[in-house]
Structure 1
Amino acid sequence: MTDQRLFANGRLAASTEMSPKQVVEKSELLAHIPAGTQVYVTDLGNAPEDTIVAAARKLTDSGLIPVAHMAARRYPSFEAFERRIKRLTSEAGVTEVLAIAGEADKAGPLTSSVKMLESGLFDQTGIRKIAVAGHPEGAPDIKPDVIRAFLLQKHELAAASDAEFRIVTQFGFDPHRVSLWLDELRAWGNKFPVHVGVAGPAKMTTLLKFAAFAGVENSLNFLKKRGGAVVSMLAGYDPETMVEPLESRVVSQPDSATRPDPCLSLWRHREVRRLAARTR
């Protein structure tokens, strides 16, 4: 039987990520993304709400599926969170979100993604799919047993929700570490499908900057050691080093619900075209 997660050519499906500003100001990029693709719309705290909503609307109108980042700690009040999700659903047609804790200089009353899920607002506003964060390399400020407890709590909330849940990870570079983590999740009793973050082709200097920001320096160090630091810096990064092992895992372990989820905030215009040609 053919695995439904693989295309006929044996490649895994992919989504992408864009900032609200990219969507609004460089909308010509959207023509190079296959129709029906999930596009994660980032919220780093530097874009006005109107821009975020406008970006999601543009994606919907372009035949794409906006996945709005909902960063709990960035909302100064519960009312601000309620206003945002209601605007995204009613004005932009959003039906999918990524629920994360997020970072803020001063956190509001919603201190975690679980607090947003417990509010029931996602179900009330018609959100059909909810992504939650996964941490293949662990989280700097959270112990593994706490991560496990939160994941199991999200399973309880998912059982009471009408939405489908999935795990989405930050991008990484060590496929062996990701595979071990997927086995660990299975041992924990995880039932959510997992979408693995993969960085697009980029200069190593660019990846160094983003890896430090995202907290995946250990994975990047693995990549540098594998190819040699000097050679890797000159040659850049090829995402196939992550994608091909994941595709092999799907074939060898058909019960493993995982696919890569390339993070295209690092991709240039020509590289978006390459993704479109490869994945659809």
Structure 2
Amino acid sequence: MGLFSFRHKPSATSAEDQTSGLLENFLSGYSIEVIPRTADQIESFRDLLPAGTRVYIAHIEGTPIRDMVRTARRLADEGFPAMPHFPARIIRDRAELAEWVARYRDEAGVEQALLLGGGPTTPAGAFEDSMQMLETGLFDGFRNLHFAGHPESNRDIDPDGSDRMVMQSLKWKQKFSERTDARVAITTQFCFEAAPVIAWADRLTTEGIYLPIHIGVAGPAKLHTLIKYSMSCGVGPSMQVLQRRAKDVSKLLLPYEPTDLLTELAEHRAQHPDLGIHQVHFFPLGGIRATANWVTENGGCAGRPASADAPAKKTT
């Protein structure tokens, strides 16, 4: 009689450990965003973030450039590479852009940037989009250049609800990545469902866009705070996750945490290694400390330097 081999069903603990490991790996090398005002409230970033964590500095319209540069300098001094925003529609002209670039480089050692259109719909001057800023040549020599992405579309760019102009822009940036030494990536707006993110990432691949995606995620926050920011930032249909949660009295007073979203994305990436999502970028809408603590509790302690960004795939 032959011997039968029986495979034991994994215990709940083993399944939980596997899921936890996937999430921990997914959080590795995460980045986070600050503004000068919130950064000033943090006594020491070293007490909160893994060494080498990239910190984006969002440039809100009206913020003096000196405050932005001061924040970048402070982060550099504490060992965190700063990636300041350059919002095209709030910059008056090439001279002002050149001043910003020079000050960041000379006073804070900045060599990476997030280029985006920005919040205002009417340009303050010469620039309407990130491509026009790139064409000035002022970012030549930067090691990392990121652009904004919108998994749930962007009606400021495509008022008809399509993604025609967005895709055209991303294809331009894909070609730019193939002729520059800089590492180019997409950093996205935050959303609350995995399915549209996965569909969008797959769509980019079919369109010949292979730029690494840094997926935007809202950190832990009160429900009303997230709804307020989601409405002002133009978050799409995934905002229904928050609206459904608001109807559940048992969850109404509990802070939202991105555990389910990130776990689903982590599991999908484990099953589909070619998924274009490489890293997670946190919007700490409920506070930097709350987000950093949540990431640490979920294993996201292994920071990696900005120079470790994956390069975009080259098309043939």
Please indicate, yes or no, whether the TM-score normalized by the shorter chain is above 0.5.
Answer: yes
Match of 1:135 in 2: 150
Q: Determine the structure 2 residue equivalent to 1:213.
A: 232
Shift of 1:230: 3.8
Alignment-derived partner of residue 3 in structure 1: none
1:181–1:58 Cα change, 3 Å: same
Distance in 2 of aligned mates of 1:61 and 1:207? 32
Q: Which protein, 1 or 2, shows the higher relative CO under an 8 Å CA cutoff with sep ≥ 6? A: 2
What is the aligned partner in structure 2 of residue 44 from structure 1?
60
List per-residue Cα deviations over 1:185-235 (Å, max 9, x = no partner). 111111110011111111100001110111015222134336845444322
Rounded to whole Å, the distance in 2 between the matches of 1:91 and 1:122 is: 16
Cα distance in 1, alignment partners of residues 129 and 291 from structure 2: 35
SS of residue in 1 equivalent to 2:189: strand
- The 1:80–1:51 alpha-carbon spacing in structure 2 relative to 1, beyond 3 Å, is same
| Range moving further from structure 2, 97-106 or 48-57 | 97-106
Q: Which has the higher helix share?
A: 1
Question: Which of 129, 152, 161 is matched with 1:112 structurally?
Answer: 129
Give the number of equivalent residue pairs: 273
CA–CA separation in structure 1 for the residues paired with 2:23 and 2:153: 34
CA contact (8 A) 2:201 2:276 kept: no
Against the structure 1 CA distance between its residues 111 and 90, is the aligned structure 2 distance closer, same or farther, given a 3 Å change threshold?
same
Structure 2 CA distance for partners of 1:63 and 1:276, relative to 1, 3 Å = farther
Q: What is the CA RMSD across the aligned residues, in angstroms?
A: 2.0
Q: Given the superposition, is the C-alpha separation of residues 32 and 118 from structure 1 closer, same or farther in structure 2, using an over 3 Å criterion?
A: same
Q: Runs of 4 or more off by more than 3 Å in structure 1?
A: 6-11, 226-232
Q: Residue 281 of structure 2 corresponds to which residue in structure 1? A: 261
Provide Cα deviations, 1:54-79, integer angstroms capped at 9, x if missing partner: 00011111111101100011111110
Output the amino acid matched with 1:77.
D
Check 1:268–1:80 CA distance in 2 against 1; reply closer, same or farther (3 A cut).
closer
Between 242-251 and 29-38, the greater mean CA deviation after superposition:
29-38
Post-superposition Cα deviations, 1:77-126, rounded to whole Å, max 9, x if no partner, equal 11001100111111101111100011335421011101011112111xx3
The partner residue of 2:295 within 263, 270, 275 is: 275
SS at match of 2:139: helix
Q: Residue 175 of structure 1 contacts residue 245 of structure 1 at CA under 8 Å; is this kept in 2?
A: yes
User: Residues 119-167 of structure 1, C-alpha deviation per residue, up to 9 Å, x if partnerless?
Assistant: 12111xx310011111111001323111111111111222222211001
Q: Distance in 1 between matches of 2:246 and 2:203?
A: 27
Residues 50-129 of structure 1: pairs in structure 2 closer than 5 A? 50-104=66-120, 106-123=123-140, 126-129=141-144
Q: Residues 98 and 34 from structure 1, CA distance in 2 versus in 1: closer, same or farther, beyond 3 angstroms? A: same
**Higher radius of gyration, 1 or 2:** 2
Q: Which moved more, 1:225-234 or 1:86-95?
A: 225-234
Question: Structure 1: 5+ residue runs without aligned partners?
Answer: 1-5
- Whole-angstrom CA distance in 2 between matches of 1:163 and 1:232: 44
* Aligned counterparts of 1:101 and 1:121: Cα–Cα separation in 2: 17
**Does the CA-based 8 Å contact 2:45-2:78 persist in structure 1?**
no
1:175 lines up with 2:190 in the alignment? no
Instruction: Tell me how far apart the structure 2 counterparts of residues 272 and 8 of structure 1 sit (CA, whole Å).
Output: 15
Asked if the contact 2:152/2:196 (under 8 Å) is kept, the reply is yes
Partner residue in 1 for 2:33: 17
Is contact 2:73-2:107 (8 Å) kept? yes
Please, what TM-score do these two structures have when normalized by structure 1?
A: 0.90
Give secondary structure in 1 for the equivalent of 2:270: helix
Q: Structure 2 stretches of 5 or more lacking a match?
A: 1-20, 302-316
